[in-house]
Amino acid sequence: MYVCAPAFMATSQFGKRRPSAFSASLTSRSALQSLHRVSAQAREHNFFEGGLTHDWITHYEKQISSDQSCLNEWNAMDSIESRRPPSPDSLRTKPSEREETERVIRSALKEIMMSVDLDEVTSKFIRGRLEETLDMDLGEYKPFIDQEMLTVLGQMDAATRIFPHVYLGSEWNASNLDELSRNGVRHILNVTREIDNFFPGSFNYLNVRVYDDDKTDLLKHWDNTYKYITKAEQEGSKVLVHCKMGVSRSASVVIAYAMKAYNWSFKKALDHVQSKRTCIKPNKHFILQLETYQGILAAMKNREKLQRSKSETNLVATSGLITPPNSPKKALDTPRSQSEGDKDATPPDRLDKENEPVVPSPPTRLMPPKLLDISGYDLMKCGGRPKSWSPENNFATDILTSSTLLSQSLEKINTDKITVEVEVEVPNIPPAPPLPPFEAHKYNVSVFMPCGNGLRSYSVSQNKIVQLQPATPPPPRPSSVKLRVNELESSGISNSCSGSITSSSTGGCTSSPDRKSTTDPGRNLVLNLTTQFEGVVASSSAANSPSDDNVLVNKPLPAESPKFSRIAVNRPPSIAVCTAQKRDGGDLFSSRLDRVFEREERKQCREPLDHQSTAVVSAGDVSRQNSWSSYDSAVVLRDVISRHSSWGSCDTRTLPSRNSSWGSYDVRPTMQYVSERGEKPVVNSTAAAAVPKTAADEPCYRPAKRPKQKDQQKLLLPNCYSSSPTLGLQGASHKLANRATASQPNISGLGNTAVTASCNNKHSSLVRSLKEEFEAKAGDVVEKPSRKNSSGGGGGSSAEDDGTGTEHVKSLPTSPVSEHPKVTQRPSPAASMEDLSVRKLVGKYENGRARSKTFVQDSGCPRNPHYQQPPVPPRVSSLDVTAIGPRKFECNPVVKTVVLPIQQSDIRASVNRAANNKLQQGKSHPLTKLSFK
Amino acid sequence: MASGVTVADACKKVYEEIKKDKKHRYVVFHIKDEKQIDIEVIGERNSTYDLFLEDLQKAGPQECRYGLFDFEYTHQCQGTSESSKKQKLFLLCWCPDTAKVKKKMVYSSSYDALKKSLVGVHKAFQATDHSEASQEVIEEKLRSTDRQ
């Protein structure tokens, strides 16, 4: 209410001076908004007469001690044509002879009329009988007698009992105190304008003051009449609904009540009332209104459904945004890893070990916790959708585990169906990350899970995904587990790695995710380096970056998948993953726009998206990493990313959301992600390169380390965030063993896809050239990856890479675990370094090719970088997959070499700086980039 | 309509004719089949009040009717030498004592519907016998609201 004044003033200002028009309009709008808020609050809290908040009214009502006659005068209504008889009080005070006579006449008349056949009697006959009974000349009372005759006649028709608590009657029924009290009526609903309330003090009245004509809008009163009748019923009272004759207005009211109270159709209600009171005849306009009311009630019944469907559609839209499978997987993995990490010590350790090589994690750790917490809290406050934020995922994992995680993971995973799958799997079997081959199934599962659990936008992506999912989801888990086990068993190297991580297949899975993650970072780095070196067009870089981001999330998974895919099973999944990724990509494209809008619209959505976006950013960072810095650019990148293949979309989503609306939050996540991304990119690259195992393992280890560390610190949220970013990219770390496993499958699928699709995408142009260059530069590195691949010999380039990767992974997991804390820092720097210091890295690679070889073998991180390049190709999509795949792999090795040196030294510092800058300024990417450079 | 009885459109149409176009002097309505108020008789413009009363009671002593009459009389305002000619439309509900109570009931309860549908009627009266429907009584009632 207060708002009004300002609003009006604002409008007045608007009229007076144009300059202030904008502010004025704003003011008025804010005023309107305030009014709206107040009214909404009033509705919410029942601030209405009769509501709980208006008890004070009854208090004052009790204070009224005036005579009923005074109250009647006070409550006198206009347009009254049928007035109640003079009150007993007035009669008492001055009992005129005439009134006394009338009273006698009334009683006598009633007796007479009760004894005659009303159908045949005439008023003259009755008057004669009356005169005879009273033995007096009633000539002067003739008008009165005529009126009384009609009244008595009307009262002869008893009110009709339509329902046990509802009587339908006429004016005369309303004036018949005997009948009312006999029926137990205490509430009278007077649906007339011309008839007075006959017993204002004795009954509870509700007046609907309308005439019975065409213009009367009874429809708007039916809600109140329904409430009144319902209230009377609850009080154990009876309601007399009356109008003049109880035929049209009151009958319409009763029919409307029957329709609403008993969910009857208009026809049924009309028939029911008519069967009870045959004389009812609502006028045709009331009938039209009743038909309208029927439609309204039907709409009300469907409101829930509509809302659900609406929410579902929203979910679908969001899911579309989420579609980017790779990054989401990582995000999902991270949350799981965190949550799981707390639960399961082994997986975290593995992850940590894996992470160590990557190192970049430290800055991310620092940043992530705060960012993560904030984001999580914000999300919580918003009460909206958890979306992609890892913190929520962590919470969810901690609290609800399955449902929230799923929804969150989906959001985070937006781009990656795999992530979703991972989440799904996690809830069921956290430690057992679905094998890469099963990723498609997982995707499906994940899709379903988000829909069911989250209800949020994820469903959209799910929808897209759903097509893939339906058959896959249930089978994937078991199959994935089996496959994983098989894979683990089949791949001695992988087994060894898995063994180190966990005794069971789940452990293998975790390790594989880690590997993937490591590989992704490497790839990202490679990509970044390539982009930076070549100065690829922004679009190409953006595309690469998105792909990288995707790679980070997706590719890492693919990388894992390759590792897993070393086994025959893994390959198929990877293929499925590739298809899924492609699909995701399509989803991402369409969904990216939707996501962007949704992000803007929904902060919560944004948060989850941010995770994805962060992943995207990381991807973008890969290309952008050079510039890291600018989240603004990231925003732009988002668009670009969205344009880019599905991979990019996820990343872009996260980035844009953070950049645009989230600001600091976004930036922070991005920072974390960046560090994570750094890792992730490596993983992706590794995955894409098929070398993934080594590289992926390293990244994964890094994330794992992070989660472990976080867990140790008991910073669940931060962990989740940091983990989520890492998860998205590194996935394995946050999700730890369980999620890591889940992510791995996804990754594997992604990796395969990444290898194919990403390679294709990246290969499209610049990427290929860059890769080639990298390869040329890091010939040694390439050789190493190739060696690894050959050793894996799983199948195709990816299989080969896997083979190599598996070996490295084995070595890596252990080492990373021990080094985790340090390594985590290293990885993030490495990632950043990769982006920022691509040139340096290139130089390093060239110089330290031997190192890269060693690194690749030892940590697999170097391989990851190589793999990162492949992720970019994935964006290009699957066209060039086969041909490009090898190239990417080669490139990845080079990247790996570069990455390793960077990580150890410059990368950490640069990454940390960038992260800090990002945290502080949110959009300081350029600066960070500069500093890195 | 409170009784479920509706007013036929023809009633409104003829009312407009008599109010605006002055084509008729009076109209007699009746309730047809206890469902609808319809036109029974339309009086010529040069008809008299007596003819109106005759038409009202034409159906018999047990029947009720509604009547609409365009009543003309001269009115001289106080302090003026000129007398002005006034035309006032009034409604009359004719319910003789000899009519059945049920029928009276229907007419009296449907009277509101007719009154509301014929917008612009100056007055509405009820009459049960000639004494209440005589031209003098009606004129007196119509004059009661004129300025003296």
Q: What is the ipTM of this complex?
A: 0.75
pLDDT, residue A269, reads 92
Taking residues A465-475, report their average pLDDT.
43
| Cross-chain residue pair B1–A213, CB shorter than 8 Å | yes
In terms of pLDDT, which residue wins out, A904 or A283?
A283
The CATH number covering residue B130 comes to 3.40.20.10
Q: What is the largest CA-CA distance in chain A?
A: 135
- pLDDT for A537: 40
In this prediction, residue A35 has a pLDDT band, given cuts at 50, 70 and 90, of: confident
The answer, for A281 touching chain B at a CB cutoff of 8 Å, is yes
Shortest Cα distance, chain A CAs vs residue B45, angstroms = 31
Residue A559 near residue A747 (C-beta atoms within 8 A): yes
Q: What confidence category does residue A239 fall into, taking pLDDT thresholds of 50, 70 and 90?
A: very high
Nearest to A623 by CA among A829, A724, A767: A767
pLDDT of A223 above 70: yes
CB pair distance less than 8 Å for A213 and B101 = no
Cα separation, A365 vs A888, in Å, equals 30
For residue A459, pLDDT over 70 is answered with no
**Which residues have CB under 8 Å from B110's CB, separation 6+?**
B1, B2, B3, B5, B31, B37
CB-CB neighbors (< 8 A) of B104 in chain A: 123, 146, 149-150
Which residue carries 């730890």 as its tokens?
Answer: A736
Q: Which residues of B touch A123 (CB under 8 A)?
A: 95, 97-99, 101, 104, 128
Mean pLDDT over residues A115-140, rounded? 79
User: Where residue A259 falls among pLDDT bands split at 50, 70, 90?
Assistant: very high
Residue A398: how many CB atoms within 10 A of its CB?
Answer: 18
For A380-386, what is the mean pLDDT? Answer: 47
Confidence band (pLDDT; 50, 70, 90) for A38?
confident
Using pLDDT thresholds of 50, 70 and 90, give the confidence band for residue A907. Answer: low
Of B1, B104, B109, the CB nearest to A283: B1
Mean pLDDT of chain A: 55
- Condensed to tens digits (0 to 9), the pLDDT of residues A315-349 reads 544 444 444 444 444 433 434 434 333 434 334 44
B24 assigned to some structural domain: yes
* pLDDT value, residue B148: 60
Over the stretch A341-360, which tens digit does the pLDDT of each residue have? 343 433 444 444 444 444 44
Residue B8, in any domain of the structure: yes
Q: Does residue A810 or residue A199 have the better pLDDT?
A: A199
- Secondary structure (3-state) at B1: coil
Identify the pLDDT of residue B104. 84
CA distance B96 to chain A (A): 8
| pLDDT for residue A115 | 80
- Is the minimum CB–CB distance between A138 and chain B shorter than 8 Å? no
Structure tokens at A858: 């030892």
Q: Which residues of A touch B105 (CB under 8 A)?
A: 150, 153-154
Note whether residue B68 is domain-resident.
Answer: yes
Query: Which tokens hold the place of A729?
Result: 């990219």
pLDDT of residue A602: 56
Report the pLDDT value the prediction gives residue A47, as an integer from 0 to 100. Answer: 66
Partner B contacted by A209 (CB < 8 A): no
Residue A80, number of CB atoms within 10 A of its CB: 15
Cβ contacts (< 8 Å) between B1 and chain A: which residues?
A: 212-213, 248, 283
Q: Hey, are the CB atoms on A153 and B105 less than 8 Å from each other?
A: yes
Neighbours of A933 (CB within 10 A): 16
CB proximity B115 to A under 8 Å: no
Please state whether beta strands B65-76 and B26-32 pair in parallel, antiparallel, or not at all (unpaired).
antiparallel
Secondary structure of chain B: what % helix, strand, coil (to 5)? Answer: 35, 30, 35
Residue A228 confidence class, pLDDT cut points 50, 70, 90? very high
The answer, for B124 touching chain A at a CB cutoff of 8 Å, is: no
Cross-chain residue pair A247–B3, CB shorter than 8 Å? yes
Q: Do B4 and A149 touch (CB under 8 A)?
A: no
Given this model, what pLDDT does residue A213 score?
82
Q: How many domains does chain B have?
A: 1
Q: pLDDT tens across A746-767, in order? A: 433 343 433 444 444 444 555 5
Q: Is residue B148 in some structural domain?
A: no
pLDDT at A25 over 90: no
Using an 8 Å CB-CB cutoff, list chain A residues near B2.
Answer: 192, 212, 243-245, 247-249
B20 and A CB contact within 8 Å:
no
Residue % of chain A over a pLDDT of 90: 8
Q: Which residues of A form the catalytic set?
A: 243
List of chain A residues whose C-beta atoms are within 8 Å of the C-beta of residue B116:
211, 213
Q: Does A245 touch chain B (CB under 8 A)?
A: yes
B98 CA: distance to closest CA in chain A (Å): 5
Residue B38: inside a domain, yes or no? yes
* In the block, residue with structure tokens 């990002």: A918
> What's the rounded mean pLDDT across residues A840-850?
52
For the ranges A380-384, A606-610, A805-809, B15-19, the maximum mean pLDDT occurs at B15-19
pLDDT of res. A284: 86
Q: Given this model, what pLDDT does residue B102 score? A: 81
How many CB pairs (< 8 A) connect A and B? 76
The highest-confidence range among A569-578, A592-601, B23-32, by mean pLDDT, is B23-32
B positions 77-106 inside 8 Å of A (CB): 95-102, 104-105
CA of B83, closest CA in chain A: separation in Å? 34
Question: Does residue A224 contact residue A190 with C-beta atoms inside 8 Å?
Answer: no
Pick A607 or A136 by higher pLDDT. Answer: A136
Its domain, for residue B132, covers 4-143
Most confident of A144-153, A245-254, A532-541: A245-254
* Residue A78 DSSP SS3: coil
Q: Do B109 and A244 touch (CB under 8 A)?
A: yes
| pLDDT for res A171 | 84
- pLDDT at residue A167 above 50? yes
Q: Which residues of B are less than 8 Å from A248 in CB distance?
A: 1-2, 4
**Predicted confidence (pLDDT) per residue in B77-112, tens digit:** 777 777 788 888 889 898 888 888 888 888 888 888
Given a cut of 70, is residue A634 above it in pLDDT?
Answer: no
What is each CA distance from B92 to A66, A755, B22, B88, B121, in whole angstroms? Answer: 42, 98, 19, 13, 11
Residue A71 has pLDDT above 70, yes or no: yes
The answer to whether A149 contacts B101, with C-beta atoms less than 8 Å apart, is: yes
Q: Do B109 and A121 touch (CB under 8 A)?
A: no
A121 vs B contacts (CB less than 8 Å): 100-101
pLDDT in tens, B65-75: 999 988 888 88
What part of A 66-105 touches B (C-beta under 8 Å)?
81
Sheet containing A204-207: which strands, arranged edge to edge?
Answer: A160-163, A166-169, A238-242, A185-190, A204-207
Using a CB–CB cutoff of 8 Å, tell me whether B117 touches chain A.
Answer: yes
What's the confidence (pLDDT) of residue A58?
Answer: 78
Strand duo B36-43 + B26-32: pairing: antiparallel
| A122–B97 C-beta distance less than 8 A | yes
Q: Other CB atoms closer than 10 Å to residue A837's CB: what's the count?
A: 31
d(CA A648, CA A330): 14
Nearest-by-Cβ selection for A118 from B102, B108, B117? B102
Residue B110 forms part of a structural domain: yes
Residue A37: phi, psi to the nearest 5? -65, -45
Best residue of A115, A141, A150 to probe chain B, by most B CBs closer than 10 Å: A150
At A518, the pLDDT band (50, 70, 90 cuts) reads very low
Answer whether residue A896 shows pLDDT above 70: no
- The whole-number pLDDT of residue A768 equals 61
Q: What percent of chain A has pLDDT over 70?
A: 28
Would you place residue A847 in the very low, low, confident or very high pLDDT band (cuts 50, 70, 90)?
Answer: low
Q: How far is B103 from chain A (nearest CA, A)?
A: 9
Could you report the per-residue pLDDT of A874-890, keeping only the tens digit for each? 444 444 444 444 444 44
| For residues A906-925, average pLDDT | 55
Report chain B residues whose CB lies below 8 A from the CB of A194.
Answer: 112
Cβ within 8 Å of residue A635, ≥6 positions away: A655, A656, A659, A660
What pLDDT is attached to residue A88? Answer: 61
Q: Name the minimum distance, in Å, from the CA of B137 to any CA of chain A.
A: 15
Q: Which residue of A has its CA nearest to B35?
A: A281
- Most confident of the following: A157-161, A862-866, A920-924: A157-161
Residue B19's pLDDT band (cuts 50, 70, 90): confident
